[in-house]
Amino acid sequence: MRWALAALVLGALGGVAWKLLARPGIVTVTAQGAVTTEAETLHQFGNVMVYLGIGAIICVVWAGALAVTGAHRGWRLVPFVAVMSVAAALVARTVGLALSPDKVMVPKAARAGDTIPGILTMDAWSAVVAWAVFGVAGLLLVTSLLAPPHVDEQVAEPH
């Protein structure tokens, strides 16, 4: 239970970190309203990469610590790590987006051609699922490093 809670708390901290590290791009004001430019799209992709980087750090470290403790040995640890990593990702996404405005705020005095700050978005659900991959990879990596060396001994046959 404490490992599940730790994953969720780390996810919340990851959401705060994501909000602080992500840099929403610039939106251009047109006669029809605010328009996302190609540069804004690149910023959105960069923000997804920041989210993935945070997820990689959180999930690898969390799952590695779980493997080191040895508290939960066995195959059931793999789905537990995958599910809790996705849960942490969802918490991070929710917290990061909750700390951001819901929509682009266009000032009343804005004119066509003006640029204004964009908002933090996350439409890439594959990035959420990637956290599970990071968690399982961290678990497998640390487990393999902790595993006793396998010695191939040939059994001598009696003569």
**Model confidence over 120-130: pLDDT tens digits?**
778 889 999 99
pLDDT of amino acid 106:
65
Percent residues over pLDDT 90 in the chain:
48
In this prediction, residue 60 carries a pLDDT of: 96
Q: In the chain, where are the structural domains located?
A: 2-146
Tokens of 128: 């959420």
For residues 137, 142, 147 and 150, what is the CA-based torsion angle, rounded to 10 degrees?
A: 60
148 versus 2: which is more confidently predicted? 2
Query: 144: which 2 tokens?
Result: 């393999």
